[in-house]
């Protein structure tokens, strides 16, 4: 589990007291998702604090991505409720979730391969007049003006992501790590209120991962983005997240700070199995979250 | 001198027919080239346009619906609207299907349309088709009537090209490409994927209807055979693939190139011995397929492939 990387970033700047005073940005109540006979998410409940970076961890098959998909509207829950800023958004489709301020990135990068890096970002902002065909033909001048603003924002975002040099490159030609940055950039184009990042560090080399993590921290600190991050890289989770939710078999096993979570034998058992293996695992618990030490 | 005049008339015919096919190919380019919608029922929309235009523009006849005797300015938009409505109905049902299933569904719908046109005698005169469809400028002396028809087709094509090129370069075209490239990501970026796909399908269907109407007015006769998948759907697909899918210039180029190949191949096949006569029509399809294979070896994305970034 130890990736051999050590990240030295300080915790996010939003104070515990501030976060506790504000109502949660997202609440999930008794969320359940069944695929035929398989219960992928089983009466799962948790809340996400505004302006914080929350990690979601758990072994493969724990239901992390399924929960993301339900929160982002890509999958309708079998039962349960999802509240976003106090409003029930259960079953609202993805494109409407986006307009409410929830964006999601994917485990495997989902770039628009045959659009350039810049165009990938320019596609995102909603309400572009140029997306209406009649306006394209009837008022090209207005569209040009709006387009200039979108382009400027996209170029600023590329600069933040250190991808300016690749602005005219087709997204399909970017490396895996650059595609992850592009995913983050697409999320940034909307100034989201809640960003769900699904394994942003997967397949990213250590140098780029350090940059990616720093960017997430900057966005959280300076723009007050709320992040929920699924990640298997415990170093990254430990260094970035104020709070961690541990899932196992579709339900919340425990939650709290990384220090608290990694002391919990149930977490180690969930990751490594029971019996003798679990005993050994307790001894090797440093492998989960060693980077924070 | 006569032969030169004949070649001149043939060239006008070639360009006019190429232009009509180019309208169809541009319709397919919106659906497949821009948005990734696999429409295998081009012939159906083409036939709906042709029949609607014929019914609107022909003189009164007891053999089929119509007798409105309306001019071209009514029959062409009428054909586009009829095809667009059919396309909207098809899209409303099928647009969520994955591309291969959409292909099967549209192919089936086109066959249903063909059989309706063939069997509903009271409306379409069945297999006998509709004749005496007015041709624009037919009162002019030859060759001016042919030249005027060609100019009309080219003018329509130019307007379509300018409109679609502007659409392709605008955020509208960008969203369509995004949907084609990654539907899930487009959805996650807040795009109403179904809405955009329906829009592309309907717009493409309307252009296919326009192509059908122009064809009906040009050849003055239509029958259900024009809705045969091999003679329309296959050729239009080959035109787009060879020309360059996703590129309006490629769509135009492919239409004229493949139509020239298709038309001139008839000159060769009609000179074959009598025992080959029956096979010659299929030989032409074979030649077109062969050309497709050879060209794709050299140009996998078509001769004029899609180019990004736009404007460079």
Gap between the Cα atoms of A54 and A70, Å rounded: 17
CA R_g for chain B: 19
Residue A269, Cβ neighbours under 10 Å: how many? Answer: 18
pLDDT higher than 80, residue B278 = no
Q: Closest to B188 (Cβ–Cβ): which among A104, A113, A122?
A: A104
The strand pairing partners of B222, in sequence order, are: B130
Q: What is the mean pLDDT of residues B47-51?
A: 96
Q: What is the mean pLDDT of residues A132-148?
A: 93
Omega of the bond leading into B309 within 30 degrees of 0 (cis): yes
Using DSSP, state whether A6 is helix, strand or coil. coil
Q: What is the mean pLDDT of residues B153-171?
A: 97
Chain B residue with minimal CA distance to A172?
B181
Is B167 within a domain? yes
Residue B75, Cβ neighbours under 10 Å: how many? Answer: 27
Residues of B in contact with A170 (CB under 8 A): 308
pLDDT higher than 60, residue A18 = no
What would the two tokens of residue B113 be? 């349309």
Q: What is the mean pLDDT of residues A170-195?
A: 92
Nearest to B82 by CA among B172, B216, B232, B228: B216
Gap between the Cα atoms of B242 and A182, Å rounded: 33
Is B185 within a domain? yes
A190 lies within 8 A of chain B by CB? yes
Q: Give me the phi and psi of B189, to 5 degrees please.
A: -90, 15
- CA distances to A180, A227, A241 from A11, rounded to whole Å, are 22, 13, 7
Confidence (pLDDT) at B179 = 96
Nearest to B245 by CA among B18, B26, B21, B22: B26
A134 lies within 8 A of chain B by CB? no
Is B95 within a domain? yes
Summarised one tens digit per residue, pLDDT across range B109-155 is 999 999 999 999 999 999 999 999 999 999 999 899 999 999 999 99
Q: What is the mean pLDDT of residues B200-228?
A: 95
Residue B58 zone, left/alpha/beta (φ > 0; ψ -120 to 50; rest)? beta
Q: Give me the phi and psi of A246, to 5 degrees please.
A: -105, 125
Q: What distance in Å separates residue B161's CA from the closest CA in chain A? A: 12
Q: What distance in Å separates residue A102's CA from the closest CA in chain B? A: 9
* Average pLDDT value over all residues in chain A: 85
Number of domains chain B contains: 1
Strand A26-35 with A79-84, pairing: antiparallel
Q: How many alpha carbons fall within 13 Å on the CB side of residue A37?
A: 0
Confidence (pLDDT) at A8 = 34
Confidence (pLDDT) at A19 = 53
Gap between the Cα atoms of B11 and A7, Å rounded: 72
Is B265 within a domain? no
A95 lies within 8 A of chain B by CB? yes
At residue A21 the predicted structure's pLDDT band, cuts being 50, 70 and 90, is low
Q: Is the ipTM of this complex over 0.90?
A: no
Confidence (pLDDT) at A146 = 93
Nearest to B265 by CA among B242, B296, B291: B291
Q: Closest to B187 (Cβ–Cβ): which among A94, A111, A123?
A: A94
Q: What distance in Å separates residue A63's CA from the closest CA in chain B? A: 19
Is the Cα dihedral A140, A144, A145, A146 positive or negative?
positive
CB A256 within 8 A of CB A230: no
Nearest to B134 by CA among B71, B194, B203: B71
Q: What is the mean pLDDT of residues A267-279?
A: 62
Residue with tokens 């494109």: A95
At residue B311 the predicted structure's pLDDT band, cuts being 50, 70 and 90, is low
User: Looking at per-residue confidence, does B286 or B18 come out higher?
Assistant: B18
Residues of A in contact with B309 (CB under 8 A): 116, 118-119, 168
Q: What is the mean pLDDT of residues A243-266?
A: 90
Helix (H) or strand (E) holding A267, with range, is helix A265-272
Confidence (pLDDT) at B170 = 95
Those residues with Cβ within 8 angstroms of residue A64's Cβ, 6 or more apart along the chain or in another chain: A56, A57, A58, A198, A230, A247
* Class of residue A204 by CB neighbours under 10 A (exposed 0-12, middle 13-18, buried 19+): buried
The strand pairing partners of A197, in sequence order, are: A229
At residue A3 the predicted structure's pLDDT band, cuts being 50, 70 and 90, is very low
Confidence (pLDDT) at A10 = 36
Confidence (pLDDT) at A287 = 47
Confidence (pLDDT) at A170 = 96
Q: What is the DSSP string of A25-67?
A: SEEEEEEEEEETTEEEEEEEEEEE-TT-EEEEE--TTSSHHHH
* Average pLDDT value over all residues in chain B: 92
Q: Cβ of A114 and B187 within 8 Å? A: no
Is B209 within a domain? yes
Summarised one tens digit per residue, pLDDT across range B259-272 is 999 998 888 887 88
User: Which domain, by its residues, includes B88?
Assistant: 2-228
Is B199 within a domain? yes
Confidence (pLDDT) at A272 = 59
- CA distances to A246, A261, A267, A272, B67 from A258, rounded to whole Å, are 10, 5, 11, 17, 81
The strand pairing partners of A104, in sequence order, are: A196
A261 lies within 8 A of chain B by CB? no
Is B279 within a domain? no
Summarised one tens digit per residue, pLDDT across range A75-111 is 999 999 999 999 999 989 888 888 899 999 998 889 9
Q: Closest to A128 (Cβ–Cβ): which among B167, B171, B188?
A: B171
Residues of B in contact with A110 (CB under 8 A): 182, 184-185, 188
Nearest to B225 by CA among B120, B117, B121, B135: B117
Confidence (pLDDT) at A277 = 46
Interface mutation vs chain B, best among A136, A170, A187, most B CBs within 10 Å:
A136
**Across chain B, how many H-helices and E-strands are there?**
12, 0
Interface mutation vs chain B, best among A123, A126, A157, A190, most B CBs within 10 Å:
A123
pLDDT higher than 90, residue B227 = no
Confidence (pLDDT) at A16 = 52
What would the two tokens of residue B91 be? 């899209």
Residues of A in contact with B167 (CB under 8 A): 133, 136-137
Residue with tokens 């397929």: B289
Summarised one tens digit per residue, pLDDT across range A189-245 is 988 999 999 999 888 888 889 999 999 999 999 999 999 999 988 889 999 998 999
End-to-end CA distance of chain A: 15
Strand A53-57 with A226-230, pairing: parallel
Tell me what percent of the residues of chain B surpass a pLDDT of 90.
77
Is B239 within a domain? no
DSSP-derived secondary structure letter, B233: I
What does the angle CA B249 – CA B208 – CA B248 come to, to the nearest 5 degrees?
10
Summarised one tens digit per residue, pLDDT across range B53-104 is 999 999 888 888 888 889 999 999 999 999 999 999 999 999 888 778 999 9
Gap between the Cα atoms of B100 and B237, Å rounded: 15
């Amino acid at each position: 589990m130890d990736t051999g990387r050590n990240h030295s970033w300080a915790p996010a700047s939003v104070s515990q007291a501030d976060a506790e005073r504000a109502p949660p940005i997202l609440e999930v109540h008794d969320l359940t998702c069944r695929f035929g006979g398989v219960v992928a998410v089983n009466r799962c409940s948790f809340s996400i604090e505004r302006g914080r970076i929350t990690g979601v961890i758990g072994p493969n098959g724990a239901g992390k991505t399924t929960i993301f998909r339900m929160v982002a509207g890509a999958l309708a829950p079998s039962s349960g409720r999802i509240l976003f800023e106090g409003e029930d958004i259960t079953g609202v489709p993805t494109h409407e979730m986006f307009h409410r301020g929830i964006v999601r990135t994917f485990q495997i990068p989902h770039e628009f391969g045959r659009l350039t890096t810049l165009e990938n970002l320019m596609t995102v902002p909603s309400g572009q007049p140029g997306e209406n065909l009649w306006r394209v033909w009837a008022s090209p001048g207005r569209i040009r003006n709006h387009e200039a603003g979108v382009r400027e924002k996209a170029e600023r975002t590329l600069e933040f992501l250190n991808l300016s040099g690749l602005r005219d490159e087709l997204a399909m030609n970017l490396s895996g790590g650059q595609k992850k940055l592009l995913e983050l950039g697409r999320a940034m184009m909307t100034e989201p209120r809640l960003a769900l990042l699904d394994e942003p560090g997967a397949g990213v080399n250590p140098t780029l991962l350090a940059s990616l993590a720093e960017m997430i921290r900057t966005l959280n600190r300076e723009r007050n983005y709320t992040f929920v991050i699924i990640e298997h890289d415990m170093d990254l989770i430990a260094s970035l997240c104020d709070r961690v939710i541990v899932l196992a078999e579709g339900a919340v096993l425990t939650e709290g700070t990384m220090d608290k979570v990694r002391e919990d034998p149930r977490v180690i058992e969930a990751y490594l199995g029971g019996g003798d293996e679990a005993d050994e695992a307790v001894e090797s618990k440093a492998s989960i979250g060693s980077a924070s030490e | 001198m006569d032969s030169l005049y004949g070649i001149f008339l043939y060239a006008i015919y070639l360009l006019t027919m190429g232009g009509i096919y180019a309208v169809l190919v541009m319709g397919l380019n919106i659906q497949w080239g821009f948005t990734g919608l696999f429409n295998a029922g081009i012939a159906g929309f083409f036939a709906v346009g042709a029949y609607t235009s014929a019914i609107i523009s022909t003189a009164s006849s007891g053999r089929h619906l119509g007798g409105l005797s309306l001019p071209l300015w009514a029959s062409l938009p009428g054909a586009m609207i009829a095809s667009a409505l059919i396309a909207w109905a098809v899209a409303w049902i099928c647009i969520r299907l994955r591309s291969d299933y959409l292909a099967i569904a549209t192919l089936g719908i086109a066959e249903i349309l063909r059989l309706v046109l063939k069997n509903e005698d009271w409306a379409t005169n069945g297999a006998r088709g509709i004749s005496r469809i007015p041709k624009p400028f037919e009162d002019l002396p030859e060759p001016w009537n042919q030249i005027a028809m060609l100019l009309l087709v080219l003018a329509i094509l130019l307007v379509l090209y300018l409109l679609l090129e502007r659409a392709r370069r605008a955020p509208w075209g960008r969203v369509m490409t995004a949907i084609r490239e990654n539907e899930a990501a487009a959805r996650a970026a807040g795009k109403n994927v179904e809405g955009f796909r329906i829009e592309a399908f309907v717009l493409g269907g309307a252009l296919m209807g326009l192509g059908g109407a122009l064809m009906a007015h040009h050849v003055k006769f239509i029958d259900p055979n024009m809705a045969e998948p091999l003679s329309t759907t296959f050729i239009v697909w080959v035109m787009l693939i060879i020309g360059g899918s996703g590129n309006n210039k490629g769509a135009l180029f492919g239409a004229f190139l493949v139509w020239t190949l298709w038309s001139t191949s008839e000159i060769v096949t009609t000179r074959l011995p009598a025992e080959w006569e029956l096979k010659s029509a299929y030989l032409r399809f074979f030649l077109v397929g062969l050309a497709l294979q050879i060209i794709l070896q050299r140009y996998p994305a078509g001769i004029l492939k899609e180019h990004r970034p736009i404007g460079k």
